[in-house]
Amino acid sequence: MVAVETYEPDAPTPSPLDRPVEERGETDIQSSAFAHLAERTAHEVPGVHGVRGGGLPLIGSDGADEARHITASADVLPSRRVTIDLTVAVDYPAPVNRIVNELRTYVIEQIEAVTGYRVARLNIDVAELSRAAPRRRVV
C-alpha cells in the first residue's frame, strides 16, 4: 500500500493593513515638506500673493512682471505637531485682518487634513500690501 499525502496550502500571509494603525510604523514628514505645502496652500486664498523678489522695481516699471514668492519655514515638534512661519503680500485696500484670518484657517485645515499633524502655531508676516490689478472697464 502506498501512502498518499494530502497537500494543504499555507495559510495566507496577513496584510500589514490588517494590523492596527499603531502597530504599522511611523511616517515622518520633513519640515521642508510642511513649508512647501504651506506656500502652495497660501496661493489658493484670494487676496494673498507672493512678496516681490527684493529691491526696487526698475525705473518706469510698475513691478508687475517681477518675480513674487510666498515663503514659509516650518519646525516639526514632538507628538506630531508643527509650527509654521509664512511671509506673504496681501491685496490693498482689502481688509488685511479678514484676509489673514481666512489664510490662517485655510492653511491650518489643509495641512492637518493632508498630513495628520496638528498645527501648533501659524505665524503670518504680511511683508507687503500690493495694489490689486485694476479692473478693466468696458463701456
Confidence of residue 103 (pLDDT cuts 50, 70, 90): very high
What is the rounded CA–CA span in Å between residue 49 and residue 69? 7
Q: Yes or no: say if 130 and 89 are a contact pair by the CB < 8 Å rule.
A: yes
Which of the listed CATH numbers 2.20.25.90, 3.30.70.1350, 1.10.10.10, 3.10.150.10 matches domain 29-131? Answer: 3.30.70.1350
pLDDT recorded at residue 14: 75
In single-letter form, the type of residue at position 35 comes to A
- Listing DSSP states for 11-38 in one string gives PPPPPGGGS-GGGS------HHHHHHHH
pLDDT recorded at residue 134: 53
Domain ranges of the chain: 29-131
pLDDT recorded at residue 62: 53
Q: Which residue has the cell 508643527?
A: 82
Cβ atoms < 10 Å from Cβ of 77: 14
Partner residues linked to 128 by β-bridges: 89
Confidence of residue 87 (pLDDT cuts 50, 70, 90): very high
At 117-136, the pLDDT tens digits run: 999 999 999 999 988 655 55
Cβ atoms < 10 Å from Cβ of 122: 19
At 107-116, the pLDDT tens digits run: 999 999 999 9
Q: Yes or no: say if 71 and 51 are a contact pair by the CB < 8 Å rule.
A: yes
At 18-67, the pLDDT tens digits run: 777 677 777 889 999 999 999 999 999 999 999 887 544 444 445 555 67
pLDDT recorded at residue 59: 43
- Report the pLDDT averaged over residues 63-75: 80
Residue 79 has pLDDT above 50, yes or no: yes
